[in-house]
Structure formats: structure tokens, C-alpha cells
Amino acid sequence: MVSDSLSSLQKQKETVKAGMENSRNMISAAQDKVKRLQEASSSMQTSIQSLRNIKSNIDDFEVNKAKWEGEEEKQFETKYNSYGIYVGVYDSDTRKAKQQIDEDLEAARQEKAHAETGLENLQRILDGLESDIKAAKEE
């Protein structure tokens, strides 16, 4: 009977160890994902700032009579305004993309935290099983 109990505890211990290894793999994958997303977010922020500087230059540019006249002035203003609109749309899309990256980053951080909690719980279970195995061997 003690042998059956000990065998059952050993099997449980192996199952918990396998679960712990799985949790470690999940933590490692989540850490890699967090790192990649942090780098992407940082890169996007740099791009957004650069884009905003360009947009500011576009918005501040003036078409005046000293540089342009008549039909050339109208054509240039039309094209330049279109350019400003496209840059504005691109800026908006880029900010949305960064927001999505930041949301994915937070989800990856939570995923990592859950895996770490799971690993801690499995470690406590393993400690309990090892105590039970030790006690069963002493019987």
C-alpha cells in the first residue's frame, strides 16, 4: 500500500515538474515578446516624433507672392496641401499602430506575470509532494 502511495506521489511529482518546465518556456517566450514589443514601441515613438516635426514644417510653410504667383502658386498650394493631408493621415495611422503595440505589450507583460505565478504555485505543490514522498519513504 505504501508502495502504491509512493508511486502515485512520484508520478504527481513528475507531472508537476513537466508543468514547471512548460511554465518556464512560457515565461521565456513572454520575455522575448515583451522585449520585441518594447523595441517596436520605442522605434514607433521615435518615428512619430520625427513625423510630427515634418508635419509641423509643412504646416508652418507659407506660400507667398515673393516665391509663387498665379497658376503656379495655386498648383503648388494644392499639391502642398495634399501632401500635408497625407502626412497627417500617416501620422494618425502610425499613432494607432503604436497604440496597438502598446496594448500588445501590456498583454504580453500580463501573460508573463500569469506564467510566473503559475510557476510559483507549481513550486509550492512540488515542495509539498517532496515532503509527502519523504514521509512515505520513512513509513
Residues near 2 by Cβ (< 8 Å), separated by ≥ 6?
Answer: 136, 139
Which CATH number does the domain housing residue 84 bear?
A: 1.10.287
Distance (Å, rounded) from C-alpha 119 to C-alpha 99? 30
Q: How does pLDDT run across 21-30, given as a tens digit for each residue?
A: 999 999 999 9
Distance (Å, rounded) from C-alpha 125 to C-alpha 117? 12
Q: How does pLDDT run across 38-94, given as a tens digit for each residue?
A: 999 999 999 999 989 988 888 887 767 666 677 777 788 888 888 889 988 999 999
Judge whether residue 129 has pLDDT over 90. yes
User: How many domains does the chain contain in total?
Assistant: 1
**Domain coverage including residue 45:** 2-138
Distance (Å, rounded) from C-alpha 81 to C-alpha 72? 14
Task: Tell me the Cα Rg of the chain.
Answer: 30
pLDDT of residue 81: 84
Alpha helical stretches, state H, 2-69 = 2-60
Distance (Å, rounded) from C-alpha 108 to C-alpha 31? 8
Q: How far, in Å, are 53, 62, 71, 73, 118 from residue 78 at the CA level? A: 21, 13, 11, 9, 60
